[in-house]
Copies of this chain bind each other. A is one copy, B any other.
Amino acid sequence: MKFVIIGGDAAGMSAASRAKRNNPQMEVTVLEKTQDVSYSACGMPYNIADPLRDMDDLIVRKADVFRQKNGINLLTGHRVDKIDPVAKTVSGVIIPCSTSFSDLDNTNCTNSNQTEGYQKFSYPFDKLLIATGATPLIPNIEGVNLEGVMPLKSLEHGRVIKSFINSNLYSKPVKKAVIIGMGYIGLEMCEALRARSIEVAMVKPSSRFLPWMVSELADVVKQELNTNSIKIYSGYDIQRVVQADKNENKKAQSNGGSPLAVICKNLSSSEDLTLDADIVIVASGVKPCSQLAVEAGLETGISGEISVDKALQTSDDNIYAAGDCADAFHIVTGTKCWIPLALRANRAGWAVADNVCGIETFLPGVAGTAVFKVFELQVARTGLTVKEALNSGFDAVEVVIQTRSKAHAHPGSQTIHVAISGDKKTGRLIGVQMVGKDGVAHRINAAAVALHAKMTVADFAQTDLAYAPPFGPVWDPLLTAANQLLKKL
């Protein structure tokens, strides 16, 4: 049995390792276009924050360990350019280690440029896993390729950003950053850049800050950014990034100015906004790397992600997809969704390996549970927003409460904000969002489990959650929120 995997990050390496554990005799080949495998991408902002840490600290296991200890035929620098589902082969070219970063990172994910002169390869497969991940959405604007403008997705992106900040490019330290986009990565990068004493402005076209979040909670996050001197410009079209010419640039620098500027236009007033920057981080979201699958005729979903069933199988019986390039069932709606997150990628990789090895495995799906840190604030969500719920046919109602993170009179207690929604027709819990400086990150998981169990709000309100004064009030914030919601159901 030849099991071939395209992509050597979370889903790909999880699948490869588990397949070899399940069946040490299986021939498992991983084709990874970069030189990096198995790293903690989500850790990059925190690594960038600390000038003394090596970016390679984020590598969980080195390629040689997978090769020698796990017996995986792990081939880095192997860029797959084509899947032939009939001949059951994958083919591509071998990219030398010295190849420039941009060659590995074109946004169509297939890197189909630059094939000449490279050594070609072709591998037959019995079962194939596409685990090509996602790639940053780069706005199609002038100046996006200027030096100092960079996305953050792969480990190599992380290295480039960190070395840019560390190296005092332009003979002066990076003092000003503009982040294009206000998603998880952009928000996490705020803290990292402030830790490096860099001024930060964030800008994006849509007018609502954190549009998926209940406005009262989004305001708390915004306030935390304000407190930490982050400038927020929502509702601005990003028109271009410009670089002063060399002479002007030198002048600008001698005046303490920055070599780049992001030119924006206010979408409601049409006023111009110019944001000076020594570095521009492009964090406008990601798109699935599904071009190879599309070209092979596999079914895809509305965001272009590869469509898979609960066994992670694509529309071709011999081809699986897992990780950020593939979709999932949402456990609340039961319908397809594309929520590219790390746990799902790892879990889906395992499930593919099990299925390939004959251990039938079906994944129920995702709840869209996520947590991130914005300075001192913990921000978490699970399930649907009210808008998503209404769109999915639920008769959704919501309450938003404020309570405390610790018991009455216990020192160090912080405000916790909880938004909770339920379905008037069935009484089912639909979603929870939480924001606070203490005790949010893990609390959300109780709600996530309740969503998996399709619990009613009434049943959830009766759960026996832990209480001790240093950790919460007698009525956990989730229970208080559920009790309030019950009055509306």
Chain A interface residues (CB < 8 Å from chain B): 10, 40, 42-43, 46-47, 50, 53, 57-58, 60, 331, 341-344, 346-347, 363-373, 378, 380, 382, 407-411, 439, 441-453, 455, 459-460, 462-472, 474-476, 478-479
Contact = CB atoms under 8 A, between A and B. Distances in A.
Contacts of A10: 474
A456 to B, nearest CB: 11
A265 to B, nearest CB: 34
Given A371-B471, A467-B343, A409 B40 contact: yes
Nearest to A445: B446
Contacts of A472: 441-442
B448 A463 contact: yes
Contact of A464 (B452, B455, B474, B475): B452
A354 to B, nearest CB: 11
Nearest to A450: B449
A452 B463 contact: yes
Output the residue of A10, A369, A451, A467 with the most chain B CB within 10 A: A467
A470 B369 contact: no
Nearest to A451: B464
Contacts of A411: 46, 50
A454 B468 CA distance: 25
Output the residue of A58, A366, A368, A469 with the most chain B CB within 10 A: A469
B371 A464 contact: no
Nearest to A444: B466
Contacts of A479: 343
Contacts of A446: 442, 445-446, 448-449
Nearest to A452: B463
A459 B466 contact: no
Nearest to A366: B464
A378 to B, nearest CB: 7
Contact of A408 (B50, B60, B369): B60
Contacts of A365: 464
A386 to B, nearest CB: 19
Contacts of A408: 40, 43, 58, 60
Contacts of A343: 464-465, 467, 474-476, 479
B445 A378 contact: no
Given A368-B464, A441-B466, A445-B478, 19 more contacts: A42-B469, A43-B410, A43-B469, A46-B411, A342-B467, A343-B464, A343-B465, A343-B476, A366-B464, A367-B464, A382-B466, A441-B472, A442-B442, A442-B443, A442-B471, A444-B466, A446-B448, A449-B453, A449-B455
A469 B39 CA distance: 12
A441 B477 CA distance: 14
A24 B447 CA distance: 34
Contacts of A43: 407-410, 469
Output the residue of A42, A445, A464, A476 with the most chain B CB within 10 A: A464
Contacts of A410: 43, 46
A470 B407 contact: no
19 contacts: A40-B407, A40-B408, A40-B409, A42-B468, A43-B469, A50-B411, A53-B409, A343-B475, A343-B476, A346-B474, A369-B464, A370-B466, A382-B466, A441-B466, A442-B472, A445-B466, A447-B449, A452-B464, A453-B453
A349 to B, nearest CB: 11
Contacts of A475: 343, 346
Output the residue of A370, A446, A450, A468 with the most chain B CB within 10 A: A468
A428 to B, nearest CB: 13
Contacts of A382: 464, 466
Contacts of A407: 40, 42-43
A194 to B, nearest CB: 15
Contacts of A451: 464
Nearest to A381: B466
A462 B380 contact: no
A102 to B, nearest CB: 27
Contact of A378 (B369, B463, B471): B471
A466 B449 contact: no
Nearest to A479: B343
